Amino acid sequence: GENVEQHPSTLSVQEGDSAVIKCTYSDSASNYFPWYKQELGKRPQLIIDIRSNVGEKKDQRIAVTLNKTAKHFSLHITETQPEDSAVYFCAAREGGNKLVFGAGTILRVKS
Amino acid sequence: GAVVSQHPSRVICKSGTSVKIECRSLDFQATTMFWYRQFPKQSLMLMATSNEGSKATYEQGVEKDKFLINHASLTLSTLTVTSAHPEDSSFYICSASDRFYGYTFGSGTRLTVV
Strands (DSSP E) found in B1-114: 4-7, 10-13, 19-25, 32-38, 45-51, 57-58, 67-73, 76-81, 90-98, 102-105, 109-113
> What pLDDT, in 10s, does the model give residues A31-82?
999 999 999 999 999 999 999 998 999 999 999 999 999 999 999 999 999 9
* Predicted local distance difference test score (pLDDT) of residue B102: 86
Tell whether A31 lies on the interface with B, counting CB pairs under 8 A: no
Residues of chain B contacting A92 with CB distance shorter than 8 Å: none
Whether the per-residue pLDDT at A96 is higher than 80: the answer is no
Any chain B CB within 8 A of the CB of A111?
A: no
Across the interface, do A99 and B95 touch by the CB < 8 Å criterion?
yes
B102-105 vs A62-67, strand pairing mode: unpaired
**Which phi and psi angles does A101 have, rounded to 5°?**
-95, 150
- pLDDT value, residue B52: 84
From residue B49, give the alpha-carbon distance in Å to each of A80, A94, B57, B106.
Answer: 36, 13, 5, 15
Give the number of other Cβ atoms within 10 Å of residue B114's Cβ: 9
Considering only CB atoms, which chain A residues are within 8 Å of B45?
101
Q: Closest Cα partner for B4 from B103, B110, B111?
A: B103
Q: Which residues of chain B have pLDDT under 70?
A: none
